[in-house]
Amino acid sequence: MPHLPRPPHSPPRRQAIGRLGAIAAALALPFSALPARAAVDGKQLRIGYQKSSTLTALLKSQGTLEKRLAPLGVKVSWFEFTSGLPLLEALNIGSVDFSADVADTVPVFAQAAGARLTYVAQEAPSPTAQAIVVKEDSPIRTVAELKGKKVGVAKAAGSHYLLLAALEKAGLSAKDIEPAYLTPADGRAAFERGAIDAWVIWDPFLAGVQRQSKVRLLTEGKPVADYKRYYLASSDYAQTRPDVLQILFDELRHTGRWVKAHPKEAAALLAPVWGLDAETVEQANARRSYEVRPVRPDDLGEQQRIADAFFAEKLLPKKVTASDVALWKPRG
């Protein structure tokens, strides 16, 4: 694979932007309060992704999907988001058609808000790809010692569930800490200047702070949180262009296998895309499974545990049945 330059940032449409911040700030805001869904245009594929969307970043940097879909008359466009919740909101209202991998918590919030989303694929668990970190000289040695402390976390992210599950295992609840809801960039800044006592974060941000700062892990995801990442489509798009989803699925699975088989080459390609050094990228990639597979009903057990945990903390507006979702089935 050739060495490629950093791709340009592509913002989502302006109408969606104003609404994305609202739902990130108030999770109980129903998706029905947002603009009406845009009609599906089968001649385009609008992909939303995050910085941590490794496989999608590689496909984007190589132009792989553009080459595969051009014969079908499908044009590909890309939109970057800071986290999964606004990405799935954009998917629900029709600003994008397909969501690159989001943490397992995010579809639960979308489901609670009545979003019409279809699970396309999942990555096998990567429990060590997220963790709770403190500074190396911090007096905090255990999760139980977070009681009364200020903890930075991205609201509704997979790391948020890790925090809830770790607190429960330590005999605490979210009420026993002071949560600071921060994006990864803001969380890193707050952590570095000592504005928070601990930070709950995922790769590649986790690998970045481990390599660039003196930190200790209080706990990783294992054994309290599996940390699966999901790929989703709007239900309208899934019904309209299953052939496009099949190509996406095949390319994601192929790319995942390539990353694990060629860790150094993959890290060299991703380093300029992510703005990180190759060693940090390789460390992050080593903790992700990148095993792309179909989503089956019996895979959703932890989704139910996640839904129950957030509902118990009054962070979900209603109870969610995790299995009550649309599942796309790939060929082969």
190 and 113 inside one domain: no
Is residue 1 in some structural domain? no
Burial group, residue 93, by CB count within 10 angstroms (0-12, 13-18, 19+): buried
117 and 215 inside one domain: no
121 and 232 inside one domain: yes
Is residue 33 in some structural domain? yes
Is residue 36 in some structural domain? yes
In this prediction, residues 236-257 reach a mean pLDDT of: 97
Is residue 312 in some structural domain? yes
Quick: pLDDT tens for 179-220: 999 999 999 999 999 999 999 999 999 999 999 999 999 998
Boundary-marking domain end, from 220, 240, 261: 220
322 and 274 inside one domain: yes
Cα(269)–Cα(283) distance, rounded to whole angstroms? 14
Residue 12: pLDDT over 70? no
Boundary-marking domain end, from 187, 220, 253: 220
204 and 285 inside one domain: no
In this prediction, residues 231-260 reach a mean pLDDT of: 96
Q: What one-character DSSP code corresponds to residue 250?
A: H
21 and 120 inside one domain: yes
210 and 266 inside one domain: no
In this prediction, residues 127-148 reach a mean pLDDT of: 97
* Of 37 and 167, more confident: 167
Both tokens of 253, joined, read 């699975």
Is residue 3 in some structural domain? no
Is residue 7 in some structural domain? no
* Of 2 and 108, more confident: 108
What pLDDT is recorded for position 191? 98
Is residue 76 in some structural domain? yes
pLDDT classification of 9: cutoffs 50, 70, 90 = very low
What pLDDT is recorded for position 39? 65
Both tokens of 73, joined, read 């008359």
107 and 238 inside one domain: yes
In this prediction, residues 241-253 reach a mean pLDDT of: 97
Strand ranges in 25-146 using DSSP code E only, listed in sequence order: 44-49, 75-80, 98-103, 117-123, 130-135
pLDDT classification of 84: cutoffs 50, 70, 90 = confident
Across the chain, mean pLDDT equals 87
Task: Give me the helices (H) in 129-229, please.
Answer: 158-169, 184-192, 205-212
101 and 176 inside one domain: no
Is residue 78 in some structural domain? yes
What pLDDT is recorded for position 332? 67
pLDDT classification of 24: cutoffs 50, 70, 90 = very low
Number of domains in the chain: 2
Tell me the pTM: 0.84
Domain CATH code at residue 210: 3.40.190.10
Cα(26)–Cα(244) distance, rounded to whole angstroms? 34
What pLDDT is recorded for position 170? 95
What pLDDT is recorded for position 38? 59
The residue segments making up the domain with residue 152 are 127-220
What pLDDT is recorded for position 221? 77
Residue 35: pLDDT over 50? no
109 and 149 inside one domain: no
212 and 269 inside one domain: no
Quick: pLDDT tens for 258-296: 999 999 999 999 999 888 999 999 999 999 999 999 999
143 and 202 inside one domain: yes
Strand ranges in the chain using DSSP code E only, listed in sequence order: 44-49, 75-80, 98-103, 117-123, 130-135, 150-153, 178-181, 198-202, 215-220, 229-234, 292-293, 326-327
pLDDT classification of 41: cutoffs 50, 70, 90 = confident
In this prediction, residues 23-32 reach a mean pLDDT of: 39
Boundary-marking domain end, from 220, 250, 282: 220
Contact assessment for residue 130 and residue 105, using Cβ atoms and an 8 Å cutoff: no
Residue 40: pLDDT over 80? no
